Amino acid sequence: MRYLLISLCLLMVGCSSYPKKNNFEAIETNHLTSLNPYFSNPDLDYIYKAQISIKENNFGGILIIKKINMQEHRVVFTTEIGNKIFDFSYIGNEFKVNSILADMDKKILINLLKKDFKVLIEENPQIENSYTANGYSIIQADIYKNNHYYFFKENSLEKVVKTKNGKENTSFIFSAIDTNIAKNIQILHNKIKLEITLRKI
C-alpha cells in the first residue's frame, strides 16, 4: 500500500502543469496587440547567419525571413554562395515546402523545422492564460495545439518555451534586442539533437 501511494504521488507530480511546476502566479490576461514583433515588418528583409545542427550533421549558411503580407511569410535558408538548402512558405495556417536539399528531405525533420519557424514568425497566437514569475510577465498561447509560454521582461520578449506533458520541450531564446529586432536567436530542443543558432547580419 505504501509503494502504491508513493507511485501515485510521483505520477501526480509528474503530470502537473508547467505553470504549477514553476510556481507561476495567474493574473488577468492582457491581450497584447502582438506577442512576437521580431519578424513583423513587411518592409524589412530579416537576414541572419545561421547554423543548424542535427545530430552529427551541421548546415551553415544564410537564413532570410520575409513577411510578404499580413498572411504570408517566406523562410529561405541558403549556403554562403547562394545555393538553396530549403525554402518554406507560410500562408495563414498553410505550410508549403517550395524546395529542400535531399539530405534534409525527411518528414520528421521538415515537421520540426515547420514548427520551429512558425513560432518565430507567429505574431498573434491564440492566448490562453497569463502569469507572473521571477520578474517575468508570461503569456500562455497555443500554436499547432501545443502550449507555448512567452516570457516578457519590461515588455521585451526574451524567451518562448514550448511544453509537452508539462515539461520543457523546445526553448526559443532572444537576445541583443534592438527596436523589435532580436539580433541573436537560439532554438534548443531538449529531447533530440537539434539546435538552430541565428545571428543578425
| 10-19, 28-37, 99-108, 160-169: least confidently modelled range | 10-19
Tell me what pLDDT residue 4 has: 40
d(CA 33, CA 38) in angstroms, rounded, equals 13
Task: Give first-to-last CA distance, the chain, whole Å.
Answer: 62
Angle 117-118-119 from CA coordinates, rounded to 5°:
90
pTM, full prediction = 0.89
Question: In sequence order, what are the residues at sequence separation of 6 or more whose Cβ sits closer than 8 angstroms to the Cβ of residue 83?
Answer: none
Q: Which CATH class is domain 19-200?
A: mainly beta
Q: How far is CA 98 from CA 80, 81, 89, in A?
A: 19, 19, 7
Q: In what helix (H) or strand (E) does residue 8 lie, and over which residues does it extend?
A: helix 2-14
Q: What is the mean pLDDT of the chain?
A: 90
- Length of the chain, please? 201
The predicted model gives 174-190 an average pLDDT of 96
Domain ranges within the chain, ordered by starting residue: 19-200
